[in-house]
Structure 1
């Protein structure tokens, strides 16, 4: 018998759980189905939120033949069989899993069938199609992003499975505690497949009479479903939220996102991002924070998980509560912008390299002033090219005493330049 999650997939568009922005009353996919004007599409989002279900529901609501292939494991010959069937029946909906892994030979075979409309392609992927899918396929499809399922959506799926007499457990005498249902809902992480698999295991492994407790639910779903794909969108969203939480000085949010990243086990990525943050967001407001962050990273790398979480959390807390300054990154980006626009100019003669023949005499003749020969180690002279000599890139912040000191020195130098 097929698994419960497979049996409970919707047979028409009305049975789809969640994704109301696509299949609700005014959703674009529902409108396509109602008008019987289907077009090829790509559905993307985390696992277990309904990509395959929507494809099957579209087929069930339109009576169009449905076939499912995998872009990696199925061959071009498998696609040829689908194409022949489309010729005979007029149209076939083809669900193609892992479409981001489609090779050129299979893609070239599919393209003409997409053009003439015989194959309605529904590509499913967890990767961002704008980055991962070939432009030739993208240009022939509509792209729809699926939203994570809510706890209410997961609860609805579980209740359906418990009451459905044909495909679920409606014919069984099952007592299930509310606390057990709550665990299936919360620990699934929005993955309806995970929750239904755990429910099925709990029912099939239970003694008679069947009574599922919270402990049974925890035994069958011992660890919360956690979506981590270091090459996927979700991972980059967590990394972005992590850095923005530190930048915003929200310790609790930053620790939450750190915990997610630790669960993913990708220590090199965490280490790199922390080091970037220490220079980009804290920067000159607390110059010592970067060296302490590096020390914490080195300790984490030497310890490995699970102990690595300790120095990492220490670094995160310090970075969150440190004063913030992005003056160094904005300064270099401003300078880079000028260089990339071609605003370079000739280097002043007195700054040119003195190692080639005759250069030292040239430098002396045009008056290079050696700063160490002057009080305070500073002497006023032109360093920028003529066309940029009045340019200022560094804009000091007043968020810390250390950068206020830098600002005072910098302002003094600027005043001397203007004399």
Structure 2
């Protein structure tokens, strides 16, 4: 390979043992390793952030079981092309068909894949940065094993960079020593491709046959000067969506629209943007304005039905509504506390008066006895406990100081009157 070939390609792993950072899948006794050792490769969907090896692992898996490998992109493969590829698949040797960004396939494309997978015409390996439970139809998902790939941790990034320095001829000629890793790790954000591209950029500023040292200052200087080149493959995705969500949370409609426009101009999937607003409507607005969730839900459905460019109007309307809405994270905090408490106290029994009593024996054992039906009391409220006795006095939900949630405090205060603290 020439020096103009990107560094990630120049040192792309040639064997599964060279993959860094995914030991939970490929280490000794890990599930993928065991399947490959047995010569078995089912249909798979890899879910993980960019630059963690999804494409490379798919290729190496196909090689490990001696199967033809065909790589497609959901961005430029239509139903017609997909069906032609499937029709040409051999009957004796089942090819491994890798589909990058499978979450961008529409229903017709996914249906074509489902038929081929069901008939054993192909072994599907899909890659997605989005939760496949939301984006891949349930029938196709049920026929695939879903494996999560992790962002590379600090040690994995360091190991990757050291391997590059020892293996790549271009880097070896520059006698590079890395004295500080903090900036390299920060800019790469767990992405192997980012880390290697940045190392390649820095190395291109060095001369051959001299001692060259990389420290944090050198990394920051080169990264900031070459940010467009550094992010040429669209890896600003997570930074842009972070800025977008934080602008909504910060009640700034102008910044919200700007970051959304940046994402749309960069080719971001409008459905992804709509989904992020759906989450923000509950996480950052919640019961301070329940209509926000309704509008975001309708936005999500409408964007799927309409598509671009008209979807930009619906996205813009919803984004402004969310940014200018009252904010509250009280229910977000409460459910997180509840999940943590449930994990610690899963052994606690449901109090007898709250239990269902569908049989005579259960009634004899006291199930449902002494339960007070709130609708039989004034204002449809009666004082009684609903938590296990061991958790009496536990309070998970604290209302935010906004009109909608403060109005709901009345019953909360009545419920707490006379309730013993735990």
Q: TM-score range by the shorter chain?
A: 0.5 to 0.7
Change in 2 beyond 3 A, CA 1:85/1:11: farther
CA distance in 2, matches of 1:39, 1:96: 15
Instruction: Indicate if the aligned counterparts of 2:174 and 2:208 stay in contact, CA closer than 8 A.
Output: no
Aligned-residue offset at 1:77: 4.2
Aligned-residue offset at 1:88: 6.6
Query: Deviations for 1:258-284, whole angstroms, at most 9, x for unmatched residues?
Result: xxx99x96898879745548899xxxx
Instruction: Indicate if the aligned counterparts of 2:103 and 2:135 stay in contact, CA closer than 8 A.
Output: yes
CA distance in 1, matches of 2:203, 2:417: 77
Name 1:12's counterpart in structure 2.
Answer: 15
Change in 2 beyond 3 A, CA 1:10/1:278: same
Change in 2 beyond 3 A, CA 1:275/1:170: closer
Name 1:144's counterpart in structure 2.
Answer: 147
Change in 2 beyond 3 A, CA 1:23/1:385: closer
Q: Counterparts in 2 of 1:64-83, with a 5 A limit?
A: 64-80=67-83, 82-83=85-86
Name 1:3's counterpart in structure 2.
Answer: 6
Name 1:172's counterpart in structure 2.
Answer: 173
Matching residue within 389, 392, 413 for 2:382: 392
Name 2:190's counterpart in structure 1.
Answer: 190
Q: Counterparts in 2 of 1:9-408, with a 5 A limit?
A: 9-80=12-83, 82-84=85-87, 86-87=89-90, 90-165=93-168, 169=170, 171-179=172-180, 181-209=181-209, 211-214=212-215, 215-222=217-224, 228=238, 273-276=283-286, 386=376, 391-392=381-382
The TM-score, its normalising length taken from structure 2, stands at 0.56
CA distance in 2, matches of 1:270, 1:93: 38
The TM-score, its normalising length taken from structure 1, stands at 0.56
Aligned-residue offset at 1:172: 1.8
Query: Deviations for 1:125-144, whole angstroms, at most 9, x for unmatched residues?
Result: 01111121111211211111
Q: Which segments of 5 or more consecutive residues in structure 1 lack a partner in the other structure?
A: 244-254, 256-260, 281-297, 303-311, 320-324, 327-383, 415-419
Q: Which segments of 5 or more consecutive residues in structure 2 lack a partner in the other structure?
A: 261-275, 291-319, 332-336, 339-373, 386-391
Instruction: Indicate if the aligned counterparts of 1:188 and 1:194 stay in contact, CA closer than 8 A.
Output: yes
Instruction: Indicate if the aligned counterparts of 1:67 and 1:82 stay in contact, CA closer than 8 A.
Output: no
CA distance in 2, matches of 1:80, 1:411: 62
Change in 2 beyond 3 A, CA 1:64/1:103: same
Instruction: Indicate if the aligned counterparts of 2:173 and 2:208 stay in contact, CA closer than 8 A.
Output: no
Query: Deviations for 1:378-409, whole angstroms, at most 9, x for unmatched residues?
Result: xxxxxx86477774279897999x99x97999
Partner of 2:63, secondary structure, is: helix
Query: Deviations for 1:99-139, whole angstroms, at most 9, x for unmatched residues?
Result: 11212332233223212333111110011111211112112
Instruction: Indicate if the aligned counterparts of 2:91 and 2:121 stay in contact, CA closer than 8 A.
Output: no
